[in-house]
A and B are shown apart, each in its own frame.
Chain A
Amino acid sequence: MLSKRIIACLDVRDGCVVKGVNFEGLRSAGDPAELAIRYNQEGIDEVVILDVTATIEKRKALADTIHAVAQHIFLPLCVGGGIRDEQHAEAAIEAGADKVSLNTAAVTNPELITALARRYGSQAVIVAIDAKRDGDRFKIYVRSGQQSTGRDAVEWATEAADRGAGEILLTSIDCDGTKSGFDCPLTATVSEAVSIPVIASGGAGTFDHFVKVFAVGKADAALAASIFHYSEHAVADLKAHLTQAGIPVRT
């Protein structure tokens, strides 16, 4: 049976792992390669490096970070944050990323999804969507959740899949950093609308939140950062908890 994936996100700034609360107020949590090695030993299924500053001058630092992490772990590695064009994607992939995650650039230049899918295959292209509840629907935001686009999240996810995205990384702006649980209605709505895997993100605070996002939110994978960063054995303990709850995971 296909396992539900547990993905650790490393929010990286200037080569160090940080974690924001509602995208603000970052605090340091360590060396990316060191953390990735620990997660690998604990049984993490995949790692995402998210460059949270992503300025042009810092591109070289990011490539060094990707390279350092990729040397030590033999797991799928995704890189996102500030990937605006094919050159940025190429630099990340050359440094050792298996997948790149596009957010703002996918919205402003959707042809980039198709161009990268043609060049590297759909499996290498993740479209990241930051969504916020608006009445009965969900609207997407860009530029680190700062700018509203007025676009509907389900429509955009469907379009991204049609254009060649291999997976959707879906972050709930309402839940991100709150530790109050994933946004299950958002995740289920998008997951049922597309035929590509959906990774739920934002709001993980307890192990039961993961059970719920798989069982109720119909997520194919769940991503978190701080829940793994600040406690020992969290990945292994989470997987034991999921197994007990009847959720198939790799152990």
Chain B
Amino acid sequence: MIALIDYRAGNLTSVRKALTHLGASYVTPTSPDELETCSGVIVPGVGNFRATEALDGDWTPAIQRAVEHSVPLLGICLGLQWLFSGSDEAPGLPGLGTMSGTCALIKNPNQPEDGAGPFKVPHVGWNSLHLRRPSWLLEGLQDGDQVYFTHSFAAPVTTDCVASTSYGIEFASVVERDHIAGVQFHPEKSGDVGLTILRNFLARVGTSARRATNAL
């Protein structure tokens, strides 16, 4: 059973729809205690980093505990940014801190003086993934596969970055450390490529759950 965390940062209908399509069982827990029986956690979310304040209190420690018990975690969009130490969008508000670094507003350091029009932020639309190293989440993807983004802030490219994307700057579009992963784009709105990524996450959840059962 996958826990889909609803902290009122955007609408979860399309994530639910994609999980249903892939045959996954999921719940939207109303209390952090419910995470104890879950085999996977998804933290979705769009909008301002300030919204993740709703996770402070009992949710963050509950997610932390699940992760310590090897439960796979997937952050989507704002959920990826939350895996980092924080974001310039809401200074002083900590993220989970699994990944080091801070998210920052997307900028174009090479903005031409004229002719190109304004450098548009938010970054909206389909852009390519540059695969940087092997990843269980991106199994079956090709370098250059495109996915759907809509965001203004982005995470830095660090050793946890398994795929990056270029828009003004090069930013981390997929991060992964062991069973913890995050995607800056929306796999639930990225056609077949997105569904492959979600399927890979569900497969990892299945493998981890079996391992946990065998260990008992």
Could you tell me the distance between the alpha carbons of A218 and B117 in the complex, rounded to whole angstroms?
8
- In the complex the two chains form, is B117's CB within 8 Å of A197's CB? no
Query: Which stretch, B8-16, B24-32, B154-162, B204-212, touches the partner chain A?
Result: B8-16
Report the Cα distance A98→B170, complex, angstroms.
26
The interface of chain B, by Cβ under 8 A from chain A, is 9-11, 13-14, 17-18, 21, 46-48, 117-128, 146, 148, 150-151, 166-167, 186, 188-192, 194-195
Chain A residues proximal to chain B, CB less than 8 Å:
1-5, 40, 45, 70-71, 74-76, 93-96, 98, 120-124, 166-167, 188, 191-192, 194-197, 218, 220-221, 250
Write out the residue numbers on chain A whose beta carbons fall within 8 Å of the beta carbon of B117: 188, 191-192, 218
Report how far A5 CA is from B147 CA in the complex, Å: 12
Beyond A74-B17, A123-B124, A124-B10: 14 further Cβ-contacts under 8 Å?
A: A2-B125, A3-B125, A3-B146, A70-B13, A74-B192, A94-B11, A96-B13, A96-B17, A121-B47, A166-B122, A166-B124, A192-B118, A195-B118, A250-B146
Chain B interface main SS type: mixed
How many angstroms between the C-alpha atoms of A170 and B11 in the bound complex?
26
27 contacts between A and B (CB under 8 A): A1-B127, A2-B127, A3-B127, A5-B126, A71-B21, A74-B190, A74-B191, A75-B189, A76-B148, A93-B11, A94-B11, A95-B13, A98-B189, A121-B47, A121-B48, A122-B122, A123-B46, A123-B122, A124-B46, A167-B124, A191-B117, A195-B121, A196-B120, A196-B122, A197-B122, A220-B120, A250-B126
CA distance A224 to B189 in the complex (A): 20
Query: In the assembled complex, which residues on chain B have CB atoms less than 8 Å from the CB atom of A192?
Result: 117-118
CA–CA, A167 to B186, complex, Å?
17
Interface contact B13-A94, CB-CB below 8 Å: yes
A76-B148 Cα distance, complex, nearest whole Å: 8
Shortest A82–chain B CB gap in Å is 20
Q: State in angstroms the CA–CA spacing of A123 and B10 once bound together.
A: 10
**Whole-angstrom distance from the CB of B81 to the nearest CB of chain A?**
13
Most buried by B among A76, A167, A195: A76
Give Cα A76 to B47, complex, Å.
16
B77 to chain A, nearest CB (A): 9
Using Cβ atoms and an 8 Å threshold, which residues of chain A touch B150? 123, 166
Q: Which residue of B lies closest to A121 (CB)?
A: B47
Known pairs A40-B191, A45-B126, A166-B150; A74 contacts B21 (CB<8 A): yes
A13 to chain B, nearest CB (A): 24
Closest 9 CB pairs between A and B?
A: A121-B47, A123-B150, A250-B126, A3-B126, A250-B146, A121-B46, A195-B118, A192-B117, A2-B127
Q: A residues within 8 A CB of B18?
A: 74
Is the beta-carbon distance between B120 and A197 smaller than 8 angstroms? yes
CB pair B194–A2 under 8 Å, yes or no, is: no
Hey, which chain B residues are within 8 Å of A221, CB to CB?
125
How many angstroms from the CA of A175 to the CA of B141 in the assembled complex?
Answer: 41
A247 CB to closest chain B CB (Å) equals 13
Q: With contacts A96-B14, A123-B150 known, is A220 near B190, CB below 8 A?
A: no
Closest CB-CB distance, B170 to chain A, in whole Å?
12
Known: A191-B117, A194-B118, A250-B146. A74 touches B127 (CB 8 A): no
Q: How far is the CB of A25 from chain B (nearest CB, A)?
A: 33
Contact partner of B189 among A2, A74, A93, CB < 8 A? A74
The distance in angstroms between the C-alpha atoms of A191 and B18, with both chains bound, is 33
Once the chains bind, are A195 and B120 in contact (CB under 8 Å)? yes
Complex: how many Å from CA A2 to CA B120? 11
How near does chain A come to B215, taking the closest CB pair, in angstroms? 35
Please, which residue of chain A has its CB at the minimum distance from the CB of B118? Answer: A195
Knowing A94-B13, A96-B17, A191-B117, the reply to whether A197 touches B189 (Cβ < 8 A) is no
Distance to closest chain A CB from B117 (angstroms): 5
State A3–B146 Cα separation when bound (angstroms).
Answer: 9
**A1 and B128 form a contact (CB under 8 A):** yes
B166 CB contacts on chain A under 8 angstroms: 1
- Which residues of A lie under 8 Å from residue B186 when comparing CB positions? 76
Separation of A54 and B127 alpha carbons in the complex (Å): 34
